[in-house]
Structure 1
Amino acid sequence: MIKQYFAALSATALIGVAPYALAASSTDLTVTGAITPSACTPTLSGGGIVDHGKLSAKDLNQDKPTTLPWQTLQLTVSCDAATAFRLLPTDNRSGTSDDNNDFGLGFINGDRKLGGYVVRIRTPIADGVAVQSLSSATNGNTWFASPVVSPNQLSAFGAAGGPTTPIAIKDLLADLRVSTQIARADSLDLTNEVALDGSATITIAYP
C-alpha cells in the first residue's frame, strides 16, 4: 500500500508540471477518531468455554433440531472509569447457522451446518444496581431493550425502567445464558465423531 501511495503522489506531481490545465488534480484524505482516557476489560468465567461433553448420535432428534441443556457463564467488565461502552460480538463461524441472529457451530462434511447457539444476557448489575440490556441494529444510532446478544447487533446497558439509552458503567456483572441446538440428525452424516466448533469474540467498543 505504501509503494502505491508514493507512486500516486509522483504521478500527480508529473501531471502538475504539464503545460495543460487539468481539473481535480488533488483530493483530501481525512483520518478521524478519538483516544479514550479510560479502558474496559471483559472477562468470562470458565475461560469462556461451554462444554457439552460427549453426545450420542442416537440421542439426537432425527426430524427436528435437538436443544441441549443451557449453560451459564458469568461476564464481568471492569473499566478504569465510568464508560458508556458497547459489546461488539463477532461470530468466528459466521455463515454456519441457519439463523443469522445465532452463532454457528461450524460445518461438517464440507458444507453441512451443524447447528447454532443463542446467547442471552441475564440479571445485569452495573455498579451494584440492576440495569436493562439494550441492543442496536443501527450501529448505535438507535437502541431497544433486548437481552439477546447477536452477531449482527451491538449490546449495551441502560437504567432499569428508564430510556433505552446506554449509560456509563465502571463495573458490570451479568450472566450469559448459552442455548445450543444441533441440526436435525437426518440432515447430518454422523458415522464419525463430530466436534461442536462454536467460537465467538466479544469486543469492548467505545461510542
Structure 2
Amino acid sequence: MKKYLAALSATALIGIAPYALAAPSTDLTVIGTITPNACTPTLSGGGVVDHKTISSNDLNQDKSTNLPDKTLQLSVSCGSAIAFRLKPIDNRIGSGIGSNLFGLGYINGNQKLGSVDVQIRAPLADGVPVQPLQSNDDGNTWFQSAFLAPSTLAAFRSTGGPYTPIAIKELITDLRIYTQIARADSLDLTNDVALDGSITLEVEYP
C-alpha cells in the first residue's frame, strides 16, 4: 500500500477598497520518514501470563497479594540496526493500584482489581549485554531503568556508555512479570472475577 505525504499551505487575502493589502499567512507542513528498517517484536508463550484459578480465600484481606512471578522472553528483530524505542501501552489504563503500574481492570466498574509491573532482565543486543533506558519526555532525555511503565519509552544503551539509545538489529531480553491483587476487603468477590491485564508493546523509530 502506497502512502502519500502532502504539503499544505493556507493563505488569505483581505481587500479594502480602493487598496489591496497583503494579508498575514501561515504554512502547515507535513513531514515524516518512511523507513525500510522495520522491526518485529515477539513474545514467548503468545504473550500470555496465566495465573490459573486463584481462591479468594488465599488473598490478603487488609493488604495486596503478590501472585507468583512469571517470565516471558521478548525478541525484537529488525531489517538492519536501528535505535528503536519500545512504547508500552496500558490497555486498562487507570486501573492499576500503584503509580506507574499497569492495571488488571475493574470489578463492577470502579473497584481496581490489581496491577502488573514489568521488569527488563538480562537484555542482549546483537549478542552483547546492554542496559535498559527509560524516557518520560518522548525521548528527549533518558535515564537508566529496568522497568517498563505506562506513558514512557524504553530503549537500550551500551553498558557503561552514554545515556543514548543505540542501534540494534536483534534484541533478546527476559521480561519479569509481577502481578499483584488489591486487598480483598476492597473487592466484591461474590462471583468469579477474571484478571484482565492487557499491555501492548509498540516499536517506535527515531
Q: Distance in 1 between matches of 2:21 and 2:94?
A: 48
CA displacement, residues 54-111 of structure 1 (integer Å, 9 cap, x when unaligned): 0000100000000001100000000000010000110000011132310000011121
Inter-partner Cα distance in structure 2 for 1:164 and 1:148 = 16
Asked if 1:27 corresponds to 2:23, the answer is no
Unaligned runs of 5+ in 2: 1-9
Paired with 1:22 and 1:183, the residues of 2 have a C-alpha distance of: 67
Across the aligned residues of Structure 1 and Structure 2, the Cα RMSD in angstroms comes to 1.8
Q: Supply the distance in 2 between the matched residues of 1:110 and 1:21 (Cα, whole angstroms).
A: 61
2:27 partner amino acid:
D
Q: Which amino acid aligns with 2:108?
A: N
- 1:43 counterpart SS class: strand
Q: Using the aligned pairs only, state the percent identity.
A: 64
Whether 2:85 is the aligned partner of 1:86: answer: yes
What corresponds to 1:124 in structure 2? 123
Q: Which residue of 1 aligns with 2:153?
A: 154
**Secondary structure at the counterpart of residue 28 of structure 1:** strand
Instruction: Judging by fraction of residues, say which structure has more strand.
Output: 2
1:50 corresponds to? 49
Q: Give 1:162 shift.
A: 1.6
Match of 2:189 in 1: 190
Letter in 2 for 1:84: A
Does the CA contact (< 8 Å) of 2:84 and 2:203 recur in 1? yes
- 1:68 match: 67
The whole-number CA distance in structure 2 between the counterparts of 1:152 and 1:25 is 38
* Aligned-partner Cα distance in 2 for 1:183–1:18: 69
- For these two proteins, the number of residue pairs brought into alignment is 196
- Shift in Å, 1:24: 4.5
Secondary structure class of the residue paired with 1:46: helix
Residues 80 and 58 of structure 1, relative CA distance in 2, 3 Å threshold:
same
Inter-CA distance 191–17: structure 2 relative to 1 (3 Å threshold)? same
Say whether the 8 Å CA contact 1:131–1:157 is kept in structure 2: yes
Mark the runs of 5 or more structure 1 residues left unpaired by the alignment. Answer: 1-8
* Contact in 2 for aligned 1:101/1:150 (Cα 8 Å): yes
Pairwise CA distance, 1:152: 2.1
Q: Secondary structure at the match of 2:46?
A: helix
Q: Which amino acid aligns with 1:85?
A: F
1:167-206 mapped onto 2 (5 Å cutoff): 167-206=166-205
Return the offset for 1:37: 2.8
Q: Deviations for 1:143-175, whole angstroms, at most 9, x for unmatched residues?
A: 111100011210001101222111000000000
What does residue 3 of structure 2 align with?
A: none
Measure the CA separation in 2 of the matches of 1:153 and 1:126. 21
State whether residues 103 and 197 of structure 2, in contact with CA within 8 Å, keep that contact through their aligned partners in structure 1. Answer: yes
Cα contact 2:134–2:155 (8 A) shared by 1: yes
State the partner residue of 1:113. 112
Give the letter aligned to residue 191 of structure 1: T
1:16 and 1:25 in contact (8 A); partners too: no
TM-score by length of 2: 0.89
